Structure 1
Amino acid sequence: MLEEAILSGKLSHGDVLYPERDLAEHAQVSRVTVRKAIDHLVRDGFLVRRPGSGTFVARSACRVDQPMSRAVLLTEEIFWRGSNTEVEWMERSISHPAPEEMMTLGLSADNRVARFIRLRRSAGLALAIERTCISAEFLPDAVSVTASIYKALEDANVRPVRAIQRIFACNIQELDASMLGVTIEAAGLLTKRVAYLHSGRAVEFTRSLYRGDADAFVTSFTISEN
């Protein structure tokens, strides 16, 4: 709710956040949940804490929209300049959600999620790691997904109609550096995409980590009508 208010402009740069007690009462959740949500938004750059003053909307929060006139199905392909990519499945499993996944998808610790990890290569070179998390309520059999995750959601009659993607500069850490074949702390680009159903519920959370020394790449979003 807070993120949507910031992205829609209802909360703008410099606005101070209401006290946690008031936010908890408004959203009908515990103050612990509110505090975790605020921590999440601070970490992603939407909010900034100023000791002794409060929590404020950060200057960096911004939005780029491509309006859609009707409900659509999102799909995604990634291409590197001069070569299409190949996908290697690293993991397809059912497990409990991590804290960030719980906050993003509105799940509890008792829920289960379908977890997918894919390594994208171009001309044999590892260029990106994609980690996708979807509630097992929608995809209870992760192993059966062998091609497009969005196609699997469509087959399950769970069609995302919009997505928000955030982009961050980062340094690649040990495990990911090993998978991508780069040095630890090498420059990288991290994207976090959340896809939503028509009802507004978040259905998919994907984190994609790209190595920073790739020549160039293009992310192509396509849509198919109802």
Structure 2
Amino acid sequence: MNIAEFLSPALWLNPAAGPLYVQLRKRLESGIDSGFLAPDTPLPPEREIAALTDTSRVTVRKAIADLVGKGIVVQKQGSGSYIAPRQSRVQQSLSRLTSFTEDMARRGLTTESRWLERGLFLPTPEEVMALGLAAQDRVARLERVRTIDGQPMAIERASLSTAILPDPTSVERSLYATLTARGHRPVRAVQRISAANLGKRDAELLHVAMGAAGLRIERISYLASGAVVEFTRSLYRGDAYDFAAELQIGPEDEGQST
């Protein structure tokens, strides 16, 4: 099948199936998912797609804009629209309290950090509440882009009290390795995960389109004493991560129907 046959309206266009641009977007997306439209290859020009599908260029432009927003297609200035490189997905467990560096090392992946901010600052009201600080206290703040084999995967923003981390510049690779060396390794954490659409700055840092899907994770971790160790807010690429958790039925639930 060639591109003209693939885009033939007879194969996908249904007057009762909703807006034309949505149907066209779904047709293009099916070609990408199946591999017919291969990663790193250009889409035909808008005028050619419009001619092949018997639709307007406005319809084609809206369909492609949707694909760009989902991170499936990338637009290159002066060059056109291209199928985005296929991103291998990383599965991260939610049942183990480990650092990003430790978790990726177990998978044989090389991790690096690009520091965006690292120092002592006046805390925000959110940091005061999460870390139990006084308004006049200082907070150690670490902000960096985490990469796997050179590919940006997550933005990590960690805040800690100076009692836990007096010198943020002492963290070179793994925050948890530094905390372990200081006797402050956390033993438990509470995490909240939510969906997010990436804003302009975060999307640029992660090399995806603005508005692309992401995963926001907020974590507060604790020492055995119950004292708070860290307050971390991270943004993960939605096209690169799967989070998995093992669930077990409790003894009191055994034998009960659902």
TM-score, L = length of structure 1: 0.58
CA distance in 2, matches of 1:83, 1:198: 30
Question: What's the CA shift for 1:135?
Answer: 0.3
Q: How does 1:107-186 map to 2 (within 5 A)?
A: 107-186=133-212
Question: What's the CA shift for 1:97?
Answer: 1.4
Cα contact 1:161–1:196 (8 A) shared by 2: yes
Query: CA RMSD of the aligned region, Å?
Result: 2.9
**Deviation string, structure 1 residues 70-109 (Cα, Å, up to 9, x no partner):** xxxx532344989543322322111111222111111122
1:46 is matched with none
1:75 is matched with 98
Query: AA paired with 2:227?
Result: R
Query: SS state of the match for residue 143, structure 1?
Result: helix
Runs (5+) with no aligned partner, structure 2: 1-93, 246-258
Question: What's the CA shift for 1:218?
Answer: 6.1
In the alignment of these two chains, the number of paired residues is 150
Q: How does 1:1-226 map to 2 (within 5 A)?
A: 74-77=97-100, 78-79=103-104, 83-214=109-240, 216-217=241-242
**Deviation string, structure 1 residues 174-221 (Cα, Å, up to 9, x no partner):** 22112112222211101111111122121101111011222x45689x
More strand by share: 1
2:26 is matched with none
Question: What's the CA shift for 1:123?
Answer: 3.4
CA distance in 2, matches of 1:219, 1:129: 20
Q: Greater CA deviation, 145-154 or 164-173?
A: 145-154
Question: What's the CA shift for 1:165?
Answer: 1.2
More helix by share: 2
- Mark the CA change 1:83 to 1:138 in structure 2 (over 3 Å): closer, same or farther: closer
Question: What's the CA shift for 1:66?
Answer: 5.5
CA distance in 2, matches of 1:157, 1:83: 27
Query: AA paired with 2:99?
Result: E
2:37 is matched with none
Query: SS state of the match for residue 203, structure 2?
Result: helix
Higher RCO (Cα < 8 Å, 6 or more apart): 1
Query: SS state of the match for residue 145, structure 2?
Result: strand
- Mark the CA change 1:205 to 1:217 in structure 2 (over 3 Å): closer, same or farther: same
Cα contact 1:79–1:217 (8 A) shared by 2: no
- Mark the CA change 1:219 to 1:93 in structure 2 (over 3 Å): closer, same or farther: farther
- Mark the CA change 1:116 to 1:140 in structure 2 (over 3 Å): closer, same or farther: same
Cα contact 1:79–1:218 (8 A) shared by 2: no
Query: AA paired with 2:198?
Result: I
Query: Percent same amino acid at aligned positions?
Result: 49
Question: What's the CA shift for 1:132?
Answer: 0.7
- Mark the CA change 1:155 to 1:124 in structure 2 (over 3 Å): closer, same or farther: closer
Query: AA paired with 2:202?
Result: D
2:77 is matched with none
1:17 is matched with none
Query: SS state of the match for residue 110, structure 1?
Result: coil
